[in-house]
Amino acid sequence: MVYLNNCATSYPKPISVYENIEKYIRNIPSDYSRSGGINGSIDYIAKTREIIAEMFSVKKAEQVIFTSGATEALNLVIKGVLYKGDHVITTETEHNSVLRPLKTLEQKGTIEISIVECDEYGFIEPSNIINQIKGNTRLIVINHASNVTGTVQNIEAITNNLPNREIKILLDASQTAGNIPINFSNLNIDYMAFTGHKYMYSLQGTGCLIIKEGNRPLPLKTGGTGVKSNLLYQPEEMPLYYEAGTPNITGIVSLYYGAKYIIDSGIKNMLRIKKEHIKNIIKLTQSNPLIQPVGINTNIEQLAVFNFTVKNVSVNDVSYILENSYKIVARSGLHCAPLIHSKLGTQEEGTIRISPSVFTTNEEITYFCKAVNEIANAL
């Protein structure tokens, strides 16, 4: 199989991720953060918090909260900071993990929402966000890079032009974490949510919320922490306040080795390899007028993604043939981001999205291009 669906979930993972997960689950469970810690065992919870803090230039490791994914991290902030009458600004590029919690709060009459339009590449003009700010604006939720077009937003142009810092910024870095360098402190944002199973090379069901010092959303859940068990209320210190319940330590181990792999390999080098694949796809398909790229603009910052449709053919048929006939896994549809498609002209069915990884080979890309040319010409 040729796997070109890394925007959804990365595959394969680095060998160190597989090996260390296995090592971890075969050993006696031991958890320093839960008053355990067998002599010589590794304190993965602490180590992973530290490596994530290092990777994203976060001042203190305790600002890193482990979650079950971006969805939980985003919900934590959205449900933990908004009160009746608050106004939220978000964008057409958001994933349903942002749109659905916001729309649900709007439906209940708790908040009002302004959804800022993007252009045909999925770029949001920063001033269009600033122009929506009102007296009751409390939160801006923005996707760092669209999971459809991969267009990266200019976050500093938003954070540097806020009229006051009572307005909090929640960044959905699900597509950018592990994919492009991110300096949390320099971005001047309040919250950053990301998932582990995409470009962080970890397991599904992992993720993080990074919280800027001084912010204290209400926790989404309360419960056991393994320490301070005599208290009948959730301990209020970071990160315990947000981490009730037995943590997904196997997932955290995978997050550690995923992050370590990225740091050791060099994130810019990895991105260069992925982008080279996209350049090749463009080169090998551009002479076919039936293959219609969507949302691609080489003059702006975009991640390594190639979206396309085939003239007069259902995107579902194309991805079905790729998978069943050619054994190439690619995703078609709306990619859980329903609003952006009106700007891409693909609201009917969505797109076919190709997202290579650093492990994708040139031969795989050539094979994909040959397959898609054959499909487009025949159907």
Told to check if 202 binds ligand PLP by CB under 6 A, we report: no
Told to check if 344 binds another protein by CB under 8 A, we report: no
Nearer to ligand PLP, 70 or 152 (CB): 70
- Asked if residues 228 and 235 have their Cβ atoms less than 8 Å apart, the reply is yes
| Least Cβ distance, residue 363 to ligand PLP (angstroms) | 28
CA 238 from centre of chain: 23
Q: Which residue from 6, 20, 48, 147 is in contact with ligand PLP, where contact means CB under 6 A?
A: 147
Query: What is the residue type of 58?
Result: V
**Longest CA span, the chain:** 69
Mention every residue, 6+ apart, whose C-beta is less than 8 A from residue 296: 121, 149, 282, 302, 306, 307
Site track 95-114 with ligand PLP (rule: CB under 6 A), x = hit: x-x-----------------
Distance CA(171)–CA(194), nearest Å, equals 9
Q: Which residue from 207, 326, 353, 354 is in contact with another protein, where contact means CB under 8 A?
A: 326
Site track 174-193 with ligand PLP (rule: CB under 6 A), x = hit: xx------------------
Q: Which residue from 69, 239, 350, 356 is in contact with another protein, where contact means CB under 8 A?
A: 350
Which partner from the list another protein, ligand PLP, none does 230 bind, CB cut-off 5 to 8 Å by kind? none
Which tokens in the block code for residue 236?
């209020």
Q: Which residue from 2, 17, 48, 69 is in contact with ligand PLP, where contact means CB under 6 A?
A: 69
| Least Cβ distance, residue 5 to another protein (angstroms) | 14
Query: What is the residue type of 377?
Result: N
Told to check if 172 binds ligand PLP by CB under 6 A, we report: yes
Which tokens in the block code for residue 225?
């922490």
Mention every residue, 6+ apart, whose C-beta is less than 8 A from residue 182: 56, 57, 144, 173, 176, 192
Q: Which residue from 112, 317, 359, 364 is in contact with another protein, where contact means CB under 8 A?
A: 317
| Interface segment toward ligand PLP; rule CB under 6 A; list 172-180, 184-192, 227-235, 289-297 | 172-180
| Least Cβ distance, residue 331 to another protein (angstroms) | 10
Told to check if 339 binds another protein by CB under 8 A, we report: no
Q: How many Cβ atoms are within 10 Å of 202's Cβ, its own excluded? A: 31
Told to check if 239 binds ligand PLP by CB under 6 A, we report: no
| Least Cβ distance, residue 199 to ligand PLP (angstroms) | 10
* Residues from 237 through 276 that contact another protein (CB under 8 A): none
The runs of H, that is alpha helices, within 56-212 are 70-81, 96-107, 126-130, 155-159, 184-187
Mention every residue, 6+ apart, whose C-beta is less than 8 A from residue 299: none
Told to check if 143 binds ligand PLP by CB under 6 A, we report: yes
| Interface segment toward another protein; rule CB under 8 A; list 45-53, 115-123, 294-302, 317-325 | 317-325
Provide DSSP, 11-66.
-SPPHHHHHHHHHHHHSPP--GGGT---TT---HHHHHHHHHHHHTT-S-GGGEEE
- State which H helix or E strand residue 344 sits in: helix 341-344
Binding-site size, ligand PLP (CB under 6 A): 14
Q: How open is the CA angle 110-111-115, to the nearest 5 degrees? A: 150
| Least Cβ distance, residue 332 to another protein (angstroms) | 8
Cα end-to-end distance, the chain, whole Å: 23
| Interface segment toward another protein; rule CB under 8 A; list 101-109, 140-148, 178-186, 333-341 | 333-341
Distance CA(260)–CA(13), nearest Å, equals 12
Residues lying near ligand PLP in the complex (CB under 6 A) are found at: 69-71, 95, 97, 143, 147, 172, 174-175, 195, 197, 207, 336
Residues lying near another protein in the complex (CB under 8 A) are found at: 316-317, 320-321, 324-327, 333-336, 350, 371, 374-375, 378-379
